[in-house]
Chains A and B, each alone.
Chain A
Amino acid sequence: MKLLILIPAFNEEGAVGDLVREVRQVMPGVPVLVVDDCSADATRAVAQHAGADLLPLPYHLGLGGCVQAGYRLAYELGYDYVIRVDGDGQHDPRYIPKILAALQRENCEMVIGSRFLNGAGEHSGWLRALGIVFFRAMLRPILGKPVRDPTSGFVGVNRTALALFSRSFPLEYPEIEALVVLQRKRFRFVEVPCVMRPRRTGRSTITALRSLYYPIHVLLGVFVNVLKFEGRRK
């Protein structure tokens, strides 16, 4: 069984080093790949110094393009499972074994680390919380099952989902759309409870202005993916 821990990072010099060390402590011997989305700070050097492998992008692609680059490399190198942990330190690496166990046990394509299953460790503002409630309601009929934390980036995928995501992955705000991309293929996902930590350094990419653009972009992306639904063709 080949497992890769994937850390997308953009200007995360303050958090990525400790995160890589934590991951290596929790998962000794498992390769850690930091995909640097052309950071302007010392993210690359800090990540490498902490012992991670580095996939440096020559220019800024945004979160989706950055994660997909990691998925593509993992797929080409023959990995069976990839678990994504965000570079800002919000995802607690102690939950990685739990996500991996669920991936293997549930025989599903994706496992989401959900901060709302136990109701513990919620570190989101009221606007984000409102957005999550809205997207939960919207995704329920599309996915045919409830999803508690559709915006979580703490996800594990197996090789089947890796093959799909290395070909087709949303560019911006990918988490919600990725669920619909999975649904297009009738792939399955499960959620496992996780506790998320407050962001250590840096700022969220979803600023006040972008929080207006975010739902429009995601809604359109979801709508387009629903139109592409392939399940019935089988």
Chain B
Amino acid sequence: MRLLNVMTAFAIVLMGLVLASVRREHIRVEYSVSWLVAGMLLLVLSRWRALEEWLSKALGVNDAPLALFMISGAIFLFVLYRFSRVISRLTDSNIALVQRMAILEFRLTNLDEKSKSTLAN
């Protein structure tokens, strides 16, 4: 039971932290959804004893809190996977942006030098 209480507290702290971060604009709303859903699932599973026992039977795990621990691990792995995709997409966009910016700067500098020499003539 102690593990379940810890899980409940953890879920509440997690959701509170995420909401506070969204409020302070440290996390964008679209990236808070995964964490809030994960926190909510964890809260429900840690409080709903019948569901928890049904899940532990379905998973073939005798200990219900251990089953909950496994499920919460899987939920967080899924959240991490989603953020790996987001980070990869952002990295690609960032690289493309940096390269484009450097190329534009190069072309602008050349254009500037050409126009300077034209003006000098």
- In the bound complex, do residue A59 and residue B98 qualify as a contact, i.e. CB atoms below 8 Å apart? yes
Which of B14-22, B67-75, B77-85, B100-108 interfaces with chain A?
A: B100-108
B95 at the interface (CB under 8 A from A): yes
Smallest Cβ distance from B93 to chain A, in angstroms?
Answer: 13
Cβ contacts under 8 Å, A58 to chain B: 98, 101-102
B62 at the interface (CB under 8 A from A): no
- In the bound complex, do residue A56 and residue B102 qualify as a contact, i.e. CB atoms below 8 Å apart? yes
- In the bound complex, do residue B103 and residue A69 qualify as a contact, i.e. CB atoms below 8 Å apart? yes
Q: How many residues of A are in contact with the other chain, CB < 8 A?
A: 16
CB closest residue in chain B, given A35: B102
- In the bound complex, do residue B106 and residue A65 qualify as a contact, i.e. CB atoms below 8 Å apart? no
- In the bound complex, do residue B106 and residue A73 qualify as a contact, i.e. CB atoms below 8 Å apart? yes
A230 at the interface (CB under 8 A from B): no
B99 at the interface (CB under 8 A from A): yes
- In the bound complex, do residue A57 and residue B98 qualify as a contact, i.e. CB atoms below 8 Å apart? yes
A163 at the interface (CB under 8 A from B): no
Interface positions of A from 52 to 78, Cβ below 8 Å from B: 53-59, 61, 65, 68-69, 72-73, 76
- In the bound complex, do residue B103 and residue A65 qualify as a contact, i.e. CB atoms below 8 Å apart? no
Cβ contacts under 8 Å, B106 to chain A: 53-56, 73
CB closest residue in chain A, given B99: A69
Smallest Cβ distance from A189 to chain B, in angstroms?
Answer: 24
Could you tell me the distance between the alpha carbons of A65 and B99 in the complex, rounded to whole angstroms? 8
Q: Mark A150-192, 1 if CB is under 8 A from B, else 0.
A: 0000000000000000000001000000000000000000000
Cβ contacts under 8 Å, A76 to chain B: 103
- In the bound complex, do residue A72 and residue B98 qualify as a contact, i.e. CB atoms below 8 Å apart? no
Could you tell me the distance between the alpha carbons of A19 and B100 in the complex, rounded to whole angstroms? 26
- In the bound complex, do residue B105 and residue A73 qualify as a contact, i.e. CB atoms below 8 Å apart? no
Interface positions of A from 71 to 125, Cβ below 8 Å from B: 72-73, 76
- 15 residue pairs of the A-B complex, CB under 8 angstroms, read A35-B102, A53-B106, A55-B102, A55-B103, A56-B106, A57-B98, A58-B98, A58-B101, A61-B99, A68-B95, A68-B99, A69-B99, A69-B103, A72-B99, A73-B103
- Extra contacts, 20 of them, besides A56-B105, A65-B98, A72-B99 (Cβ < 8 A), are A35-B102, A54-B106, A55-B103, A56-B102, A57-B98, A58-B98, A58-B101, A58-B102, A59-B98, A61-B95, A61-B99, A65-B95, A65-B99, A68-B99, A69-B99, A69-B102, A72-B103, A73-B103, A73-B106, A76-B103
Query: Which 3 A/B pairs are nearest by Cβ-Cβ distance?
Result: A69-B99, A73-B103, A55-B106
- Taking beta carbons and an 8 Å cutoff, which residues of A are in contact with B? 35, 53-59, 61, 65, 68-69, 72-73, 76, 171
